[in-house]
Amino acid sequence: MEIDKIIHEPARLRIMMILNGLEKADFTFLATTLGLTRGNLNRHLEKLESAGYLKVKRSFKGKVRNTSYQLTREGSKALAQYWENLDAIRQSGQT
């Protein structure tokens, strides 16, 4: 049974789960909710973006730069598959 290592990392799993319930969230929301430093969060977001699981949108709110993140279709599917595999492992471990 294969588990996606990109998603399996606790911080990245939480990032994807937060975004799974939303259309999009910005960097500040993810950082304050997860309690990650900006550098750490940036690293995880870059990994997810490179994997094709996240879409990044950069804009301006007035004069302030704003970066928001959204799960891609591939990311949603990968997340669903991740949980399916994990639940299957747990179930087979219980039998």
Partner 1 sequence: MKGAIIMNKEDHTPRDSDKLKEIPKWSRRYAQNRKLTVLVLTAIITFIGGFVAFPISLGIAAIIRGDMLVTGICAVLFTAVLIVLIIFTFKFGDKNRGLLDQKIDQWIYGKEGTASLPTSRSTKKKWLDVVSGIAISICILGSMYLAMDGYLSFKYLQPVLAVCFVPFLVFQYFLQQPRLGPLLLLCPALYAIHAILIIAGVPIYFTGTFAVPLNMFLPLFGYTFLAYIIAHIYSRHALKKLKVIAHLEGGTANGD
Q: Name the site residues for partner 1 (rule: CB under 8 A).
A: 1-6, 8-14, 17-37, 40, 44, 51, 61-62, 64, 66, 68, 78, 83, 86, 89-90, 92-93
Q: For the CB of residue 27, give the shortest distance to partner 1 in the complex, in Å.
A: 7
Give the C-alpha separation, 76 to 33, whole Å.
20
Which residues make beta-bridge pairs with 60?
65
Is residue 61 within 8 A of residue 18, CB to CB? The reply is no
Name which of 8 and 73 has its Cβ closer to partner 1: 8
Q: For the CB of residue 53, give the shortest distance to partner 1 in the complex, in Å.
A: 9
Instruction: Indicate if the alpha-carbon torsion angle 33, 29, 73, 7 is positive or negative.
Output: negative
Q: For the CB of residue 8, give the shortest distance to partner 1 in the complex, in Å.
A: 7
